[in-house]
Structure 1
Amino acid sequence: MIEIRNLVKSFGKRRVLDIEKMVIDTMGITAVRGENGLGKTTLFSLISGIEKDFEGEILKKGIDEKDITFVQQNFYLLKRTVYENISYPLKIRKWNNEMIKKRVDFLLSEFKIEHLSDKNASRLSSGESQKVAIARALSFRPKLILLDEPTSNLDKESTFLAESVLSKYTQDEKAGIIMISHDNEQINRMADQTIELKDYIKGVN
C-alpha cells in the first residue's frame, strides 16, 4: 500500500502537486486518470523514488523501493541489443547467466519480440521500444510497476498483447501495477480500481 500524506511538490515557485491524503492499493492494477498538466507523471516520479525533493510523506508499506520500477514515456533504452537491455537489470542484481537467459527468453516470447533479440535498441520503432521497455521493467520481478501511458505507441494487437502480459504478471507474481492512462476502454479492461487525480489535488497554482 502507498500512503501519501501532506505531499507538496514545487518546481521553483510553481506548486505542481498538493495532496493532503491519498491511499493507493499495490495489489492488482490501479489506473490514475487526470488532465494533462495535473501532475500525474510527477506523482509517479515521487512514488518511484526518482524524484526525492518534496514536502510531506510517501509511505511504501510492505514494499521496498528496490522492488519498484517506473516505465516512463521516454524509455531510456541503452544503445545496445534488445537482449542486453532486458538483461541489464538482472546483471546488476548479479543473476547467473543461466537464469538471465531463461528470464530474457521468456519475456522475448511473451511480447513476441524474439526476432528483435540481437537488434540494437537505437534502430527500433517506437512501438518496439515500448515493448522492450516494459519487458525490461518486468525482468527482475518487481513487486510494483509504475507505467506512464504503457501502450501509447502500440497498435491495437500489440496493445491487447501488452495488457494480457501485464495482467498475467500481477497474478503470477502477486504484484501491483499503477498506471497512467487516458484510454477509458483500456482502464475498463485492466483496472481493478481507478483514481481520479483531480479529486485529491488542492491548492495547485
Structure 2
Amino acid sequence: MVQSFNFEAIKCLKHVYRNKSLIVPHLEFKDIRGIDFKQLHDKGFKGVLFDKDNTLTEPYADTIYNPFKESIEKCKEIFGEENIAIISNSAGSSDDYPDYEKADHIEKNLGIKVLKHNTKKPDGIDSVTNHFKTDPSNLVMVGDRYLTDILFGNLYGMFTIYTNPITSKGDNFFVKLIRDKERNYVLNLKETENIKAPINKIWDK
C-alpha cells in the first residue's frame, strides 16, 4: 500500500505559519535505539505513539526492522503493551478505509495496536485519546517526519521525538520530494532563529 497525497498536512501548514515551533521536536535520535524509554516512563509519560513506515519498519513493510526489535520489546516491558500504539498514514488511515485490512494485518504481525483514524496526520487525535484514555500531553510521539509526526504531536501537546528514516528505498514519492527540504528548514529554525520545541508539561516541569 502506497500512501496517497496528504492534504491534511497541507491544511495544517497554517498552524506552522503562526507557530514555527510546532515542527521542532523535543529530542532527535538516529533511530529508536537511542530513546531511553525508562527515562520517559520515570518522568511520568503514560504511553508511546509510533509512526510506522521508516520509523519502526522499512517503507510499507509488515515486520519490525530487525535491528529495532530489542528496543520495541524494551518499550513494551516498560510501558506495558496496552500503552503503545501505531498511528500511520498508510495502515489504519484513509488509505486503508473502510475495511482497515492493512491495519489488522500489521497489528497482528507487529504485536502493536494500530489506530484506525480514517484521515492522515496531523489529523487523527480522536483515535489517540480514545485508545490511551489520557490527555495527549501525557504521551510521547515518535516519527520520522517533521510535517506529519512532529507537527501532529506538538499540536496536541505531546512530547515529540524525531528519528531518521530507515531507508529511502521504496519510500513514498511525495515524501522523497520534500524530506530534505523539511529537515533543512527545521535545522535553520533551530540554528538560525533559535526556535525550540513547545513546552511539554511533563518534560519541562
TM-score, with normalisation over the residues of structure 1?
0.30
Q: Give the helix-richer structure, 1 or 2.
A: 2
Greater RCO (Cα-Cα under 8 Å, separation 6 or more): 1
